[in-house]
């Protein structure tokens, strides 16, 4: 496994549109493993291939709230609880969108900046799993928000593009002035190591 470099806004490579994965093979599985390790290392809850400079439609997620090594399952919605995480989605497509919600979003490509973003509350998403099998996830809660954020990355879009023009300009200026903090990847704990292995060997 390897921790990959995460591109930061305004890197133009984050703007490229990603293409569908044609075959879910060992190379894709190994890449998904690296994505999960990278996501956990930088304490992220989601990552898109575009952020590590691969223009293919792959996202990884683990939005389970955690405290001192324990998953706070009771804080998740009923629908979220039914979706196994970590979750790798290949060629994800949102087929149903309902309701409205807002969440203070951050991004590993825009580290240390947060803004309230409008999203759909409930979504249904078709995707291929790591075995290349077609799956459908129905979810709301943080998982729904996170999936929408990551799919945006595959289309070259960042959360700061979804703000009103005034707020978007404000955050871009703040980033220009303030830059980003130096973030070193952290070690994965045993639970995260296990999560990666188990997701790939169901």
Active site residues: 150
When asked if residue 107 is in the footprint of Zn ion (CB under 5 A), the reply is: yes
Which residue is at the shortest CB distance from Zn ion? 107
**Closer residue to Zn ion (CB): 35 or 107:** 107
DSSP string, 44-77: -SEEEGGGGT--BSEEEE----EETTEE-GGGS-
Residue whose C-alpha is closest to residue 48's, from 81, 17, 85: 17
Smallest gap from Cβ 7 to Zn ion, in A, equals 10
Smallest gap from Cβ 150 to Zn ion, in A, equals 7
Smallest gap from Cβ 121 to Zn ion, in A, equals 19
When asked if residue 130 is in the footprint of Zn ion (CB under 5 A), the reply is: no
Please list the residues that pair with 135 across neighbouring strands.
127
**Closer residue to Zn ion (CB): 132 or 179:** 179
When asked if residue 59 is in the footprint of Zn ion (CB under 5 A), the reply is: no
The whole-angstrom separation of Cα 114 and Cα 139 is 23
When asked if residue 14 is in the footprint of Zn ion (CB under 5 A), the reply is: no
Number of residues that bind Zn ion (CB under 5 A): 1
The whole-angstrom separation of Cα 111 and Cα 107 is 6
**Closer residue to Zn ion (CB): 24 or 150:** 150
Q: Name the segment binding Zn ion (CB under 5 A); options: 82-90, 100-108, 117-125, 134-142.
A: 100-108
Smallest gap from Cβ 153 to Zn ion, in A, equals 6
**Closer residue to Zn ion (CB): 91 or 148:** 148
Residues that bind Zn ion (CB under 5 A): 107
């Amino acid at each position: 496994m390897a921790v990959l470099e995460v591109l930061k806004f305004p890197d133009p490579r984050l703007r490229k549109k990603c293409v569908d994965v044609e075959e879910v093979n060992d190379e894709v599985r190994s890449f998904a493993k690296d994505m999960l390790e990278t996501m956990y290392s930088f304490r992220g809850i989601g990552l898109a291939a575009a952020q590590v400079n691969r223009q293919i439609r792959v996202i990884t997620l683990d939005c389970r709230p955690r405290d001192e090594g324990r998953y706070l399952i009771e804080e998740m919605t009923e629908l979220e609880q039914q979706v196994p995480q970590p979750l790798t989605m290949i060629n994800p497509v949102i087929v149903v969108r309902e309701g409205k919600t807002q969440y203070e979003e951050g991004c590993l490509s825009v580290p240390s900046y947060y803004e309230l973003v409008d999203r759909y509350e409930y979504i249904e998403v078709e995707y291929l799993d790591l075995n290349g099998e077609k799956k459908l996830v129905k979810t709301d809660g943080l998982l729904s928000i996170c999936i929408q954020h990551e799919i945006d990355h595959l289309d070259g879009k960042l959360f700061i593009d979804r703000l009103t023009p005034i707020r978007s300009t404000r955050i871009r200026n703040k980033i220009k002035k303030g830059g980003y903090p130096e973030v070193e990847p952290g070690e994965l704990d045993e639970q995260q190591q296990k999560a990666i292995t188990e997701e790939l060997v169901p």
